[in-house]
Amino acid sequence: MFAIFNLIAGHPLLTMSLLEFKEVTKSYRKHFWTSRFTAVDELSFRVEEKRIVGFVGPNGAGKTTSIKMLLGLVKPTSGTILLNGRPVSDPKSRVGIAYLSEQPYFYEHLSVWESLEFGYKLMKLPSAARKKEIDRVLETVELTEVAGKRVLELSKGMQQRLSMAQALLGDAHAFIFDEPMSGLDPLGRALFRTIFRSLTERGKSIFFSTHILADIESLCDEIVVLSKGKLVYQGEVDRVLAQGFLGTDIRVSSLDQSLRGQLSDVGCDVSDSSPEESTIFVPKTGDPEWVQKLLFEKGVFCKSITRRNTSLENLLYASSGQESADRNGKKDRS
Amino acid sequence: MNTVFLIARNTFRETVRNKVLYNVLLFAIGIIFLSISFGEWSVFARVQVMQDFGLATMSVAGLLLAVFIGVGMLGREMSRKTLYNVLVKPVPRYQFITGKFAGLLITLALNFGLLSIVFGGTILYMGGSFDSGLIAAITLLLAELSVIISASLLFSTLTTPALAAIFTLGFYVIGHYNDLLELEFMQQQNPLWGFVLKTVYFILPNLEHFNVRSRVVYGMGVGWDFVGMSVLYGALYSLLFLFLASVSMNRKDL
């Protein structure tokens, strides 16, 4: 009986989607005498629950507009958007959803504590746990010491941390972040990554837009790529990276001429980074295990073995039909 | 209801930390004190001059606060996107508008309370009495303010803060000259212009229903049934404007 229940519950058609865009278009007319500008064009995609999905695209791709439509802040010109299975025009669709915007927007007359208290009360969370919960989130984002300060007195990075604290209040099941790392110093970025991982471990859903592709590689299960308001790609991050796999780099101490000849014969490329160190590039068509075995037999010490990928950036921009700054393959994943 | 109360409380907190409030308040208190010397100019009707002056000052102070704080506040919320703090939560936009309105009305009512104390004190100092007529006049001023605040919120959702401020001032002026509009459209020869004036007359509230200054000053008395009907009239107009502001806000891209 239990097995049958599991089978039914796990069926893809019955899996609850966190959000869904169905042929959504948003066009603006800045002034009545100007022509309409289409920010989002017939956008359709779906994000399942308990996934970490990166929302990627160049500036002006329509990411922020899409997120605003998702939160009911901007109305779509046509199409349907569902959040938590409800149309976004229904405020109840935002129950259990936390949001962090690219720019922190706070009431300047409130202190850090008051801002969090206001957010907590708006969520109608139990008042008995209020102090404990606010203390907890302040500690998580390392802002306990500035709790009494006015928001206005905080730096941009600290305000971004306060935004994160607001998002962490209560126990949201899904997080929508718009460029969450913007304005953060390296320590802040590291802190946010830790928070992301902790949310993932607790089975939360995260949908976030970003320009930082390293974050996508290290944090996301899936990516949605947007360009000029249109969907250009949606899929697993690992699959994107696998598509970009070029080969394997093996860093060794030194190589004699006969070994170089043998490696060259099987299609490997050897380059010397110093008189005592060389790098053997085994193309994806080659067999890195055979090369390692050969080196072991010849008594050559392997210092490191890394995968060489074309960068995610190149792949994404190629799929959107744009030129990236770096079109050459580079090592980006061990 | 709890959400509306929270937004109202936050609005109240924001307004009481706003310098404009204190500037207008000090200005109004200054004018009321100044009315003592104006009263001195009149030989027989010192108290009446002060009453007239004091009530007019309260009306103008209320208008200034509604324009500078009311219009500015919603405009600022939209331009600085601080309303995202509320609207990304499961809060309908009409609750946001209602909360803003309630917060502003509470702030201005407290200000009116303070001004009334100063006003009453000066009247008593000059040998007059703070009678039921004055209480009725102040109650009606507050009802008028409720209409002005709701109208200013409606204008704020429709246009820029600067234009909304101009429209609110225009609304106040036209509202007080609504009786003249009626005379004008009745005498109008041009049917089109007559129709326009008639439409404006019927759409806009007649703010003179809240003005009983002359009756109070000349001791003619104000019936509480009239006060009750006027307050109801103001409440209905406030509700209408809040409804329209909510509809307008609901259609707005933020």
Query: What is residue A318's predicted lDDT score, i.e. its pLDDT?
Result: 62
User: DSSP character for A61?
Assistant: S
pLDDT (mean) for B84-96 = 92
Most confident of A33-47, B63-77, B235-249: B235-249
10 Å CB burial of residue B109 (0-12, 13-18, 19+) is middle
pLDDT band at A157 (very low <50, low <70, confident <90, very high): confident
Identify residue A46 by its one-letter amino acid code. R
d(CA B130, CA B137): 11
Using CB atoms, pick whichever of A94, A106, A118 lies closest to residue B88: A94
d(CA B47, CA A239): 86
Query: What is residue A2's predicted lDDT score, i.e. its pLDDT?
Result: 45
Query: What is residue B87's predicted lDDT score, i.e. its pLDDT?
Result: 92
Does residue A21 register a pLDDT over 90? yes
- Tokens read off for B117: 């104390």
Set of chain B residues whose Cβ sits within 8 Å of the Cβ of A75: 251, 253
Q: Note the pLDDT tens digit of each residue in A164-200.
A: 999 999 888 999 999 888 778 888 888 888 898 889 8
Query: What is residue A293's predicted lDDT score, i.e. its pLDDT?
Result: 87
Query: What is residue B249's predicted lDDT score, i.e. its pLDDT?
Result: 92
Residue of A31, A32, A103, A107 best to disrupt the B interface, most CBs of B under 10 A? A107
pLDDT band at B39 (very low <50, low <70, confident <90, very high): low
First to last CA, chain A: 45
Q: Is B17 on the interface with A (CB under 8 A)?
A: yes
d(CA A284, CA A190): 33
Q: Note the pLDDT tens digit of each residue in A227-248.
A: 888 888 888 887 777 776 778 8
Q: Are A47 and A20 in contact (CB under 8 A)?
A: yes
Q: Is A71 on the interface with B (CB under 8 A)?
A: yes
- Give which of B233, B30, B210, B224 is closest to B138, Cα–Cα: B210
d(CA A26, CA A38): 6
Q: Is the complex ipTM more than 0.90?
A: no
pLDDT (mean) for B100-118 = 89
Q: Is B19 on the interface with A (CB under 8 A)?
A: no
Set of chain A residues whose Cβ sits within 8 Å of the Cβ of B6: 118, 121-122
pLDDT (mean) for A318-325 = 52
Q: Is B80 on the interface with A (CB under 8 A)?
A: yes
Q: Pick the residue with more confidence: B186 or A326?
A: B186
Q: Are B241 and B153 in contact (CB under 8 A)?
A: yes
Q: Pick the residue with more confidence: B46 or B232?
A: B232
Helix count (H) and strand count (E) of chain B? 12, 0
Instruction: Share the mean pLDDT of chain B.
Output: 85
pLDDT band at A225 (very low <50, low <70, confident <90, very high): confident
Is the C-alpha dihedral spanning A24, A27, A28, A29 positive or negative?
negative
Does residue B204 register a pLDDT over 50? yes
Q: What is the dihedral of CA B141, B143, B149, B155, to 10 degrees?
A: -110
pLDDT (mean) for B60-80 = 84
Query: What is residue B74's predicted lDDT score, i.e. its pLDDT?
Result: 87
d(CA A76, CA A26): 5
pLDDT (mean) for B221-237 = 90
Is the C-alpha dihedral spanning A191, A193, A199, A204 positive or negative?
positive
Query: What is residue A324's predicted lDDT score, i.e. its pLDDT?
Result: 45
Which chain B residue has the Cα nearest residue A169? B89
Query: What is residue A4's predicted lDDT score, i.e. its pLDDT?
Result: 54
pLDDT band at A15 (very low <50, low <70, confident <90, very high): low
- Give which of A97, A78, A73, A125 is closest to A19, Cα–Cα: A97
Query: What is residue A311's predicted lDDT score, i.e. its pLDDT?
Result: 61
pLDDT (mean) for A245-274 = 85
Determine which of A102-111, A237-246, B104-113, B128-137 has the lowest per-residue pLDDT on average: A237-246
Q: Pick the residue with more confidence: B128 or B154?
A: B154
Query: What is residue A9's predicted lDDT score, i.e. its pLDDT?
Result: 44
Nearest CA distance, B48 vs chain A (angstrom): 42
Query: What is residue A315's predicted lDDT score, i.e. its pLDDT?
Result: 61
Is A101's CB within 8 Å of B84's CB?
A: yes
10 Å CB burial of residue B53 (0-12, 13-18, 19+) is buried
Is B84's CB within 8 Å of A99's CB?
A: yes
Reduced to 3 DSSP states, what percent helix, strand and coil does chain A have, rounded to the nearest 5?
35, 30, 35
pLDDT band at A296 (very low <50, low <70, confident <90, very high): confident
Is A101's CB within 8 Å of B90's CB?
A: no
Is B87's CB within 8 Å of A95's CB?
A: no
**Interfacial A residues in 173-212 facing B (CB < 8 Å):** none
Does residue B90 register a pLDDT over 50? yes
Helices (H), A206-322: 213-219, 237-243, 257-265, 288-297, 312-319
Query: What is residue A5's predicted lDDT score, i.e. its pLDDT?
Result: 47
Does residue B229 register a pLDDT over 90? yes
pLDDT (mean) for B15-30 = 79
pLDDT band at B221 (very low <50, low <70, confident <90, very high): confident
Query: What is residue A317's predicted lDDT score, i.e. its pLDDT?
Result: 64
pLDDT (mean) for A272-292 = 85
For chain B, strand residue ranges (E) read: none
Query: What is residue B102's predicted lDDT score, i.e. its pLDDT?
Result: 94
Q: Are B75 and B165 in contact (CB under 8 A)?
A: no
Strand partners, A55: A209, A224
Give Rg (Cα) of chain B.
19
Q: Is A75 on the interface with B (CB under 8 A)?
A: yes
Query: What is residue B56's predicted lDDT score, i.e. its pLDDT?
Result: 86
Instruction: Share the mean pLDDT of chain A.
Output: 82
pLDDT band at A276 (very low <50, low <70, confident <90, very high): confident
d(CA A99, CA B110): 36
The fraction of chain A above a pLDDT of 90, given in percent, is: 23
d(CA B78, CA A183): 22
Nearest CA distance, A215 vs chain B (angstrom): 25
pLDDT band at B129 (very low <50, low <70, confident <90, very high): confident
Identify residue A193 by its one-letter amino acid code. R
Is B88's CB within 8 Å of A91's CB?
A: no
Q: Are A212 and A244 in contact (CB under 8 A)?
A: no
Give Rg (Cα) of chain A.
25
Query: DSSP states of B42-73 as a string?
Result: -SS-HHHHHHHHHHHHHHHHHHHHIIIIIIHH
